[in-house]
Amino acid sequence: MARKKIFSGSEILAQALELKLKEAGVQPLVKNNIQSSTMSGLGTLAGSAVEVFVEEYDMAKAEPVIEAFKMGL
């Protein structure tokens, strides 16, 4: 199944978007590059971010949530 990246940014904003998507019945995949680099002993890498992905078949449900989220930033 193909996933589409819908967000890349801070951990706090990624968590907020994840919550909104779950409330809409969409199960996002969150990839925390910041936490991964810290746990591996590399510290926080410049340019690291938290990414949120959604399955392509969920995009119809996710798009209104994503747009509302962007408008609130």
pLDDT digits (tens, 9 = 90+) for 20-46: 999 999 999 999 986 654 555 555 555
Q: Which domain holds residue 17?
A: 3-71
Instruction: Supply the pTM of this predicted model.
Output: 0.81
Domain count of the fold of the chain: 1
User: Terminus-to-terminus CA distance in the chain, angstroms?
Assistant: 30
pLDDT digits (tens, 9 = 90+) for 42-59: 555 555 589 999 999 999
- How many helices (H) and strands (E) are present in the chain, helices listed first? 3, 3
Q: How far apart are CA 16 and CA 12, in angstroms?
A: 6
21: domain CATH number?
Answer: 3.30.70.1530
